[in-house]
A and B are shown apart, each in its own frame.
Chain A
Amino acid sequence: MSEKWNITLIITRKKGDETPHTQAFPIEVDPDEYVLDGVERVWAFHDRSLTFRHACHHSTCGACGMRVNGVEKLTCITTIRSVTQNGGTLRIEPLRNFPVISDLVVDMGAMYLRLDAAHFSQVAPLPDTGLPFEDDPATEDPQFERLVDCIECGCCISACPIATTTSTYMGPAVLAAIEHRYRETSDISLLNLADGEDGVWRCHSAFECSAVCPSNVDPGWRIMNLRRKVIGHRVRRFFGIQTQEKVLR
């Protein structure tokens, strides 16, 4: 440990049916450690009852999304230096718009099952993995495949002002996944899935999702693009125009 800071983590706690409350943990950290390391330090050295989700510690699994000083962060890649200062505090809360199981652990089951209903694949051919407006020569070679950008961390759903109003809204991660899958497969049943009051039309284009996404997905852009595709499909259907699109299911 090179540099040392003393900071206070103010963590939201909740066990069973308790009302959520906060608890302060003054700890010593290296400012170049990540926020998740700080939370893990609290568990290891101060309070073994603290529960939080984490697995990969390098932004591939998407388990450690939390609200840090009011902003959604993937805590394993957020350095302490970037969100507070020596002597400062870090308010750590669970993601919003998901049921809280305990402390910082939320139940992401509903989001996962909606992603599954969209047949969103975590592995895609390389040319399909980026955003279409990106100029990335590495994505040109079709012989490769890679894990896609969306790590299903739920940060976008937590930041979404509309997801707060109703739990039936699919939410940015799911709509972005449908957009991604549609560009990969041209499957029009995906457009029908997204074309509804709990789909693309409920979004108020606040773009909070794109602002907090730690993984380059740009859900806000994808929702807008999906709207274009849905409208295009409706217009073509109205005029009876045959398209190259196919129904896979």
Chain B
Amino acid sequence: MDKPQAIIIGAGFTGCALAHDLALRNFAVTVVERGELTSGTSGRTHGLLHSGGRYCVNDQEAAIECIDENILLRKITKQCIEFNGGLFIALTDADEAYADTFAAGAEACHIPIERLTAAETLRLEPAVNPNVRLSFRVPDGAFDPLRLALAFAATAAKNGAKFYAYTQAENLIRDGQGNVTGVEVWDRTTGKHYSLRGDIVINATGAWAGEVAKMAGLHVAVVPTPGVMVAYNARLIQRVINRLAPPGDGDIIIPQRRMMCIGTTSFEVADIDYIPVFDDQVEWMHRSAIELVPGVQQTRERGAWMSARPLVGRAEKGRSMSRTFVAIDHKETDGIGGLVTITGGKATTCRGMAEKTADTVCKNLGLNIPCQTKEIPLESYRAFYRYSQESRP
């Protein structure tokens, strides 16, 4: 029997991890991406490998997903992740009062934590605010975004998946009943337009999922929610420093290479293809960073950038929305065959999102093939360039 043909639109974390999952389930996979791999939202993450601590009080579903995937990623790909752990630091009475709630939440989500006194905290991380009252140690990490996605893509390519970068999905091809049967694309490296046909098309475009769904006359409730991040030219900490408080703006500093990155804000915009960096938000991040690590004041800005997260779920706005993801089979929700949409989520959980989406794809096609991505170590990210030498159609 011929392999089922899957076309994935979007090569962010989700698209790359899904290509890997479906290739292992013996699909013939083609991925089209309008830019370079991870050039949309995924690449612009600040690179925090979540322990789940951030969500363990307000969004335990997301927290459990995070810690489970954090442990799995340690097993399947070490090549581009700093596993130095993280701290949640309390700076005020309110933070201190939150400690027991946090500890109970972490326990409920099986996140391993350790409570440290102020002196112990400063011994571990001398650069944090000396007014620290107490802290919790958590298994956070920091990753390189492009390389993490490339590791998934490399393994997918080794198993036959084809990746066409700089290839924009322009329209969904539909049959007489409105079912999706392929994608019309524009190869931006040559200017050629052509069609790809498949048994299933997966819309893995994250913050752009609403726009792609619209091509099939469908509505997907995703709210692109940009945030600003700022990078500094020195590394004063080894561990991720989080504020011990309910999730807010500018409350995480992530060390990475020789830098530190602070994030982030949360607002909504109409056009997400170009989001300018707003000076007032950069200023605000700078003040927040100094509060967590006062030495930031003596460092210089190395970069400032915006990234549009795809938030899905409840109808409230911004931060209060769940960070978990949805995999929508449009046959079930809208009576349109051949199209599945995956959006939401976060980098830490990309493998899990891919697993659930691939399950949805298999169910849509009446197939029963188990997921294998939990056990298989990923190829070197550089091997992507060995396995993806495939000529373009």
Contacts and interface: CB of A to CB of B under 8 A. Distances in A.
A53 B258 CA distance: 23
Interface in A63-77: 63, 76-77
A57 interface: yes
A15 interface: yes
A123 interface: yes
B166 to A, nearest CB: 5
Q: Which of B39, B191, B302 has the most CB of A within 10 A?
A: B39
A60 B257 contact: yes
B231 interface: yes
A15 B277 CA distance: 31
Contacts of A216: 258
Given A113-B385, A123-B80, A59 B231 contact: yes
Contact of A122 (B36, B144, B238, B302): B144
Interface string B305-332: 1010000000000000000000000000
Interface residues of chain A: helix, strand, loop or mixed (majority) = loop
A33 interface: yes
Interface stretch (B81-89, B349-357, B369-377): B81-89
B47 to A, nearest CB: 7
A16 B257 contact: no
Interface residues of A, number: 54
A138 B125 CA distance: 11
B380 interface: yes
A59 B147 CA distance: 13
Nearest to A141: B238
Interface in B196-225: none
B84 A60 contact: no
B385 A109 contact: yes
Interface residues of B, number: 56
B67 interface: no
B80 A41 contact: no
Nearest to B127: A138
B83 A145 contact: yes
B188 A55 contact: no
A123 B36 contact: no
> Max chain B CB contacts within 10 Å: which of A77, A148, A151, A216?
A77
A235 B168 CA distance: 57
Contacts of B274: 40-41, 44-45
Nearest to A32: B279
Given A51-B166, A109-B385, A146-B82, A56 B188 contact: no
A95 B274 CA distance: 24
B257 A151 contact: yes
A162 interface: no
A116 B79 contact: no
A77 B385 contact: no
A59 B82 contact: no
A155 interface: no
B337 to A, nearest CB: 30
Contact of B256 (A16, A144, A147): A147
A58 B192 CA distance: 32
Interface string A32-50: 1110010011001100110
Given A32-B279, A60-B47, A77-B303, 14 more contacts: A54-B35, A55-B38, A56-B145, A58-B229, A59-B259, A60-B257, A112-B385, A116-B386, A126-B238, A138-B235, A141-B238, A144-B238, A146-B256, A147-B256
Nearest 7 pairs of A and B residues by beta carbon: A55-B43, A102-B189, A44-B274, A109-B385, A57-B305, A61-B146, A58-B303
24 contacts: A16-B192, A33-B276, A37-B276, A37-B277, A45-B274, A49-B188, A49-B191, A55-B38, A58-B229, A58-B302, A60-B47, A61-B43, A61-B144, A63-B36, A77-B302, A109-B385, A109-B386, A122-B147, A145-B84, A146-B84, A147-B82, A147-B142, A147-B144, A149-B258
